[in-house]
Structure 1
Amino acid sequence: MAKELILATGTTGHVGYRTLIEALSKGYRVRAAVRSESKIAEIKAAKSTQPYLDQLTFVIVPNIEKDGAFDEAVKGVDYIVHIASPLARPSDDDEANIIQPAIKGTLSILYSALKEPSIKRVVITSSVVAVMPDQATGPYTPDNVEKDPQGPYPHTFAAYAASKKLAYNRTRDFIAKEKPQFTVVNIMPTFVVGPNELATTTDAVRSGSNALALGVLFGAKNPNGMPGAVVHVDDVAFLHIAGLDPKVKGNKNFGANYDVNGIEWDTAIDIVKKHFPAEVEKGVFPLGGSQTSLPMPFDASGSEKFFGFKFKDWETQVIDTARYYAKVAAAAA
């Protein structure tokens, strides 16, 4: 018997594509919602997709913010995995380009799901910043709740954090008001590190949160620092699909973070020297960068306990990402 059908959004992104393959490899059928035909071709052409083409269909949803945008896409599905959301990219209007799309995209798919009685669960990609206190005095968990932030926001990352808080808080309001027939699971990762198979140029490999992990390997200096909180993309994908398991009862949040005590960004240099000496010698990794590591005491150990697994460590994250970068660089040479 064919396994249940998932409607998945954001499947051409870093987390999204890896989660798509995780779902297909576990036997689920997937209807991938994409914005254009070119995205369908990109997914179909990727090597990891090849064994699963008969489990995969597509639906084009050009604007996920519109009311009713997913009304057709949700028909007959058992689960939704909603990953699509704006990233922390500089823009001339953070409210219009980051905050509102995050809120509207989430509510749009939730209200479409409300109209489809077959849906049992919606898994949403949230973020550590959705539950991060303004001043964290100690460890906090995915069940922390923060009040709505107020703009204006001093920089793009602050606007991104606000978008995640607001989208999460509106999701909670939706559950309380609509009492849907389905349950909602939120996955809350820290900075996601690891290979992205759809990134086929060196610039693309070094984009997004991988830029934080790899930056010091290419001479980037950031004395102001970034939180030293990381998780392997494989673990984030695993949690999205594990979150569909019937043993997850009710509405629940799962954090994704390797170590509540954090990592030191600059140790990536020693890891790469140890595991990729030839590439360092050739200048593939010029090294020389430095980034201060700030605390982000996010306790995601509950996810490990619930599902009986361990988050991949920082060294593994660096090795896997650097290996993929070296492979792409060699192909381009």
Structure 2
Amino acid sequence: MAGELILVTGGTGLIGIKTIHTALKAGYSVRAAVRSQEKAKAVLATPTVMAINPGSKLTFVIVPDILADNAYDEAVKGVKYIIHIASPVIKGEGFTPAQYESELIAPAIKGTTSILSAAHKTPSIQRIVITSSIVAIIPWEEFIAKEVDTVFDDTYEIPFPAGPYTNPFEAYAASKVRALLATKEFLWEKKPQWDIIHIMPSFVVGDNEIITDATLICDSTVSAAFAQVLGRDSRWGAVPSTSVHPADIARLHVAALDPEIEGNQSFLAVSGGERGTRWEEAIGIVNRNFPEAVRKGILPNNGTAKTKRTKVDSSRTEKVFGFKFLGYEEQVKSVVEQYLGLLGEPVA
């Protein structure tokens, strides 16, 4: 309900900043957990936050190390809801095999269990919404390598992925599985007074107000769609046919606080139905919507991308929450519009 206090972790990421905006627009008060004061300033400087002018409805708590014992104990005091988004992601060249456990898996598990432990000591909390991932419930090989006829939905479960892991993306997937299993174990052992909802996005493609440097526009899963628009070839090979706009993920996180939605369940966030996303279609989307930028060479729009078919059914999410996910066209357009804006070029 309007005015109630939410703790949001990971608020300076692609999903997190949209979630802060969405929660404020819905009338909630937000306490954002950030790693530094500089991160707090970045949130306050986003155009959407400035337009909302939240004043005391947006505050910050500094949590410099989510792996520290009792990291969130102070941050959770007095809040009614928690939206836990913070988790390690792969950037640039990723990590070496020796770093998989320390840089990807341990932070994902410890960050989640730390939030749960802090919440268990806090009687005011009623619900926790956690950002998980589609890879937490789809077997790695079937998601990234094999094309199977299975239609995956949010009832699917997979066992503990013990490793060793062949690449950083597989280790990232393992971190999501293990964090999900750790959460279920916590609920079974502690039986807290609050419940949990997991939101499970696919590849996130959309604008990110935290980014103010156009050269960083592909520093995330946005690259799967946008690298080809910049004239590059995909460095990931064939990418699973699953994408979602960050605005939709944010909308799910905030809407999931509604007590009318039953707790202790998971919701997939994937657009496009079973057909899903065809990554190479970004070329046509850009040609149709931004012909002048293509003509001028601002958007070379001549790179390549490949799609690996992965069938996912997230229709139950759309039914429960009462809206349709934005399609790939809207996802690509939002990135292009941001990119052109950062360059000072006209969007039309």
TM-score range, shorter chain: over 0.9
Aligned position for 1:305? 319
Question: What amino acid sits opposite 2:312 in the alignment?
Answer: F
Give the superposition deviation at 1:220.
2.3
- State whether structure 2 residue 98 is matched by structure 1 residue 86: no
Choose the corresponding residue for 2:67, options 65, 68, 91. Answer: 65
Q: Partners in 1 of 2:184 and 2:210 — Cα distance?
A: 33
Aligned position for 1:235? 248
Q: Partners in 2 of 1:289 and 1:57 — Cα distance?
A: 42
Give the superposition deviation at 1:2.
5.8
- State whether structure 2 residue 303 is matched by structure 1 residue 289: yes
Q: Partners in 2 of 1:80 and 1:328 — Cα distance?
A: 32
* Distance verdict in 2 for CA 1:53–1:296, change over 3 Å: farther
Q: Structure 1 length as normaliser, TM-score?
A: 0.96
Deviations 1:152-198 (CA, angstroms, capped at 9, x unpaired): 21111111101101101111111111111100000000011111011
Give the gaps of 5 or more residues in structure 1.
none
The share of aligned pairs that are identical, in percent, is 43
Give the superposition deviation at 1:109.
0.5
Q: Do the aligned residues in 1 keep the contact of 2:7 with 2:83 (CA within 8 Å)?
A: yes
Q: Do the aligned residues in 2 keep the contact of 1:284 with 1:329 (CA within 8 Å)?
A: no
Q: Partners in 1 of 2:243 and 2:169 — Cα distance?
A: 16
Question: What amino acid sits opposite 2:11 in the alignment?
Answer: T
User: Once structures 1 and 2 are overlaid, which stretch shifts more, 148-157 or 136-145?
Assistant: 136-145
Question: What amino acid sits opposite 1:179 in the alignment?
Answer: K
Aligned position for 1:109? 115
- The 3-state SS of whatever aligns with 1:217 is coil
Question: What amino acid sits opposite 2:35 in the alignment?
Answer: R
Give the superposition deviation at 1:98.
0.5
Deviations 1:266-304 (CA, angstroms, capped at 9, x unpaired): 110011011101100111111221111012222111111
Deviations 1:172-231 (CA, angstroms, capped at 9, x unpaired): 111111111100000000011111011111122222011111011122224831112111
Question: What amino acid sits opposite 2:237 in the alignment?
Answer: N
Moved over 4 A (4+): none
- The 3-state SS of whatever aligns with 2:116 is helix
Give the gaps of 5 or more residues in structure 2.
143-147
Q: Partners in 1 of 2:114 and 2:284 — Cα distance?
A: 46
Question: What amino acid sits opposite 1:306 in the alignment?
Answer: V
- The 3-state SS of whatever aligns with 1:266 is helix
Q: Partners in 2 of 1:2 and 1:297 — Cα distance?
A: 37
Q: Do the aligned residues in 2 keep the contact of 1:185 with 1:251 (CA within 8 Å)?
A: yes
Q: Partners in 2 of 1:137 and 1:154 — Cα distance?
A: 24
Q: Tell me how large the CA RMSD over aligned residues is.
A: 1.5
Aligned position for 1:205? 217
Aligned position for 1:246? 259
1:151-300 to 2 correspondence within 5 Å?
Answer: 151-222=163-234, 224-259=237-272, 260-300=274-314
Aligned length: 332
Give the superposition deviation at 1:137.
3.8
User: Once structures 1 and 2 are overlaid, which stretch shifts more, 282-291 or 113-122?
Assistant: 282-291
Question: What amino acid sits opposite 1:96 in the alignment?
Answer: S
- The 3-state SS of whatever aligns with 2:344 is helix
1:27-46 to 2 correspondence within 5 Å?
Answer: 27-46=27-46
Q: Do the aligned residues in 1 keep the contact of 2:2 with 2:26 (CA within 8 Å)?
A: no
Q: Do the aligned residues in 1 keep the contact of 2:267 with 2:314 (CA within 8 Å)?
A: yes
Deviations 1:59-107 (CA, angstroms, capped at 9, x unpaired): 1111112221111111110000000000023123111000110000000
Q: Partners in 2 of 1:117 and 1:298 — Cα distance?
A: 37
- State whether structure 2 residue 190 is matched by structure 1 residue 144: no
Q: Do the aligned residues in 2 keep the contact of 1:18 with 1:233 (CA within 8 Å)?
A: yes
Deviations 1:13-32 (CA, angstroms, capped at 9, x unpaired): 00000000000000000111
Aligned position for 1:11? 11
